[in-house]
Structure 1
Amino acid sequence: MDAINPIIELSEAERVDRLRLIRSDNVGPRTFRSLLDHFGTARAALDRLPDMARRGGAARVGRICSKDEAAAELAACRQRDLQLRAPGEDGYPPRLAACEDAPPLLVTNGRRDTLMRPMIAIVGSRNASAAGLKFAGQLAHELGQAGFVVISGLARGIDQAAHRASVASGTVAVLAGGHDRIYPPEHVDLLGAIVAGNGAAISEMPLGHEPRARDFPRRNRLISGASLGVVVVEAAHRSGSLITARIAGEQGREVFAVPGSPLDPRSAGTNDLIKQGATLVTEAADIIQAVAPIMDRPQPDLLREADDELFAPDPENHDRDQIIALLGPTPVSIDDLIRLSGLSPAVLRMVLLELELAGRLERHGGGLVALI
């Protein structure tokens, strides 16, 4: 299977500016993308951050990452042979790049060509059964033999079984923390084998970042986003693997589930996924057959031309007040806000950006927003 060719390469100055922007307060991946759409470059967005935060009602403007801080992070990464790649660059998984909340810069380690190849995610229980571990390894090995890269989260149980079985053919570990803060710590050697072989590791977090509970769902969206589909081998009710499957569905990825005994609670989640329409998997051929048509579909244009409507003038105070009055702690859709306010989408987007940069807005899945 051929890798997908990169389409851009950032200048060093633009890479520093993008790193400064994403490391600044109240700027997440969606906000970063909106700012880049509005202002064209990270430098222009950085210049506007203080004014936008003040217009959004911030009592104090959040910290803006300095040029020295960004340069120091880049230097520290290069000392460890880590690369910071933007969507569309060589070494940034193409399908992840097409996601709305793709990391603006991805910290990568290992083989770039592996990161550009078609991927299948295998996830499941940390407290996996012997049968589950064996089957996960068998699937990973056969998918690797068929030319796919296996991507997973380096966790105990199913994740590590999938990684170990595909070290030779190519596997990608997605980290919840920085590249120097591996969790669980007993998988440091496994990660070393992955990177030293045909595999790679990726993270959106800076060096030194210790993974917290809320970082694992964020990591899961990278696992599913980079893949053609997600295979859940074992998962109990309320499992983190089910979060990955839900995100995969929202991202338009295929969801696969391995059936298990109704008497084993570790299979309750996978059996439910099958009831909800996930593709039942008993062998690797089930996955390969399902993703074959997807492989021929063209990827979205990462360098799409900016929409002129995105470049709205600064909103009037009464427009801003009207939108804030419509918002509350209950999430509401952006489409409803446009309809109820009667304002243009461009004006609404600008007000939401201002509120987000002021730390007053929270974005939820499905295009929902709420006041904090």
Structure 2
Amino acid sequence: MEEEECQEEHLALAALLRVNGIGSAAAGKLREAFGSARAALHAPAEAFTQHGLPPKLARDVQKAQKGAEAYEAQLEETCERGGIRMTALGDADYPPYLAETFSPPALLYYRGTLIPDAQCLAMVGSRRFSRYGEGVAKSFAETLARAGFTVVSGAARGIDSASHKGALAAGRTVAVLGCGVDVAYPPENRRLLAEIAESGAVVSEYAPGTPPLPAFFPARNRIISGLSRGVIVVEAAEKSGSLITAGMAVQEGRDVFAVPGSIYSPTSMGCHRLIQQGAKLVTSAADVLEEYGVDPPKKPKKKAPAMSKEERAIYQILSYEHPLTMDEIIVSLDGGGDAASLSFVLLQMELKGLVEENDTHGYMRAKRE
């Protein structure tokens, strides 16, 4: 199919999907019956009867014909202006792993670059993440990306965002949205989504401008698992959207991995339940790579920042998971200290990337060695 003809088919398919009651499955049947979405969209009512299709469907499509031309023109302009492309089920650039699923989207919108034969692994988890979960997500994602995998996640707050950031540090990542690809959700991830589109892709089955409605996210999850060979759950409560993604992966015969956590942590309960049900327990990205016969990549060695005597004494007290307040640090130091001088030393350590201050003014080590 020529590029112009392909674009026209995509636009017609988008218009067809706007018809009440026509989802991906119904759109697929109509394309098969009439030969194309364009033909189905402009077919006479009697043609629907000949193909054994319900009269109501014919009437709904007839109504949609009136505004289809204007909608297609507007959509085409929006896509051109926003750098948005489309791919339909059956196209050469449509992701093959997704095409094999039970309910693949008839049409995908994306910003960035889709690589159909990319080897993808999904990483999902709680929006209410812990310091531990954030560190695990970044570390796993960076290692997987460095090993050549594309890390797929949902760009939500928490573990999803940490996974994207980790992957961006070493390779490629894909964000699947429950809204239009031109909508930044959550709003604070606008810059992150732009970075993802530069080296990977931002993907959605929803047309540009579609707001992030709650009903869209379970459907979004099937695309996350559908694109991927396996799903890694980092942190998840007992009732979590991440578990929905894991369940969909199981149904599609994809691998499910779970990272264990504290038995007292609510955000680890879902992961522990998955492990009990047969998910593979993983404590490092190397455990995941082993499943696919891939050797862990060698991480570039970074020279550790030099520390003064005072900085080293403070660093030894801090941990990666439990923040300490200024008073707690002073009490823990041999010989104590005063807040003014300690504040200055901690600022220097922050600038060196040795420590981080959280929202409650607690200090932790910045990176796991």
Please say if 1:61 is aligned against 2:59. Answer: yes
SS in structure 2 of the partner of residue 112 of structure 1: coil
Structure 2 residues not aligned, in runs of 5+: 295-369
Partner of residue 178 from structure 2, selected from 166, 173, 176: 176
**Pair 1:251–1:71, CA change in 2 (3 A):** farther
Counterparts of 2:104 and 2:35 in 1: how far apart (Å)?
A: 17
* Residue 25 (structure 2) aligns with: 30
Tell me the matched-pair count: 285
Amino acid at match of 2:217: F
For 1:108, the equivalent position in structure 2 comes to 110
Q: Give the secondary-structure state (helix, strand or coil) at the position aligned to 2:89.
A: coil
Q: 1:250 to 1:117 in 2, by over 3 A?
A: same
Which structure has the higher relative contact order (CA within 8 Å, separation 6+)?
1
Give the equivalent residue in structure 2 for 1:96: 98
Change (3 A) 1:123 1:55: closer
In the other structure, the counterpart of 1:71 is 73
1:215, distance to aligned residue in structure 2 (A): 0.5
Residue of structure 2 equivalent to 1:268: 269
8 Å CA contact 1:108–1:200 kept in 2: the answer is: yes
User: Pairwise mapping of residues 252-263 of structure 1 onto structure 2 (< 5 A)?
Assistant: 252-263=253-264
Distance apart, 1:238 and its partner CA: 1.1
Q: How does 1:1-372 map to 2 (within 5 A)?
A: 11-47=6-42, 52=48, 56=54, 58=56, 61-62=59-60, 63-64=63-64, 66-89=68-91, 91-113=93-115, 116-168=117-169, 169-196=171-198, 198-292=199-293
Residue 174 (structure 1) shift: 0.7
Q: How large is the RMSD of aligned CA atoms in angstroms?
A: 2.5
Identity of aligned residues (%): 41
1: CA distance between counterparts of 2:279 and 2:172? 26
SS state at 2:208 partner: coil
Give the TM-score taking structure 1 as reference length: 0.71
Match of 1:166, SS state, is helix
Residue 15 of structure 1 deviates from its aligned partner by: 2.5
Report the CA distance shift for 1:87/1:109 in structure 2 as closer, same or farther (over 3 A).
same
For the Cα contact (< 8 Å) 1:91–1:108, is it kept in 2? no
Normalising by structure 2, report the TM-score: 0.71
Q: Aligned partners of 2:42, 2:21: CA distance in 1, in Å? A: 15
4+ residue runs over 4 A deviation: 7-10, 47-55
1:261 positional shift: 1.8
Q: Is the Cα–Cα contact under 8 Å of residues 176 and 204 in structure 2 kept in the other structure?
A: yes
2:367 is matched with which residue?
none
Alignment CA distance shift 1:49-1:146 (3 Å)? farther
CA contact (8 A) 1:232 1:245 kept: yes
Contact 2:45/2:58 (<8 A) preserved: no
Cα deviations by residue, 1:109-158 (Å, 9 ceiling, x for unpaired): 11233x64111000000001100110111110110111001010000110
In 1: Cα distance, 2:190 partner to 2:128 partner: 19
Does structure 2 retain, via aligned residues, the 8 Å contact 1:88–1:94? no
Structure 1 counterpart SS, 2:157: coil
2:82–2:182 CA contact under 8 A, matched in 1: no
Unaligned runs of 5+ in 1: 1-6, 294-372
1:93 deviates by 2.3
User: 279-288 or 202-211: which moved more?
Assistant: 279-288
Question: 1:312 — aligned with what?
Answer: none
Q: Determine helix, strand or coil for the equivalent of 1:187.
A: helix
Who wins on radius of gyration, i.e. which is larger?
2
